[in-house]
Amino acid sequence: MRHGVFDVWKTQEGLILISDLGGPCEGVTDCYGLGISLEESTKVGQSHAQSLGARIITTQRKCRKCGTRFWAAAGLGEKIVPDRANGYFCASCLKLTPKAEIDKYWKEIGRTEDKPHIDLSDWCG
């Protein structure tokens, strides 16, 4: 029950970070939990946030297509396409959306982030 991919950290700014990205992340000062479940990391994070009077932040993301909140790295077992799109789109949208439509969203992301469009088929990471 305690095993998982989530870590709980205290940042240099005094915030409590719940992360599914592994670590340690840059700018953290203390570790309160490593490799624990989401449920356990939430309990640990809330406990430390309350005792320190700190705010909780997470590495949870918002799907660029449907707006659903998701954990990018925690869902790696559900990976549909082994590319960078996993960090922008939830598993459901990646499964159900045709590649051409994902490419359309990808182009919009590139424009909003002032970066050139990267064809998903060219991504090798």
In tens, the pLDDT along 109-122 reads: 776 655 544 443 43
Confidence check: pLDDT of 31 > 80: yes
Angle, vertex CA 25, rays to CA 22 and CA 21, nearest 5: 30
More confident residue, 49 or 84: 49
Give 61-86 pLDDT, tens digit per residue. 998 888 999 988 766 555 455 466 67
Whole-number pLDDT of residue 119? 44
Q: How many residues does the chain have?
A: 125
Say which residue, 53 or 73, is predicted with more confidence: 53
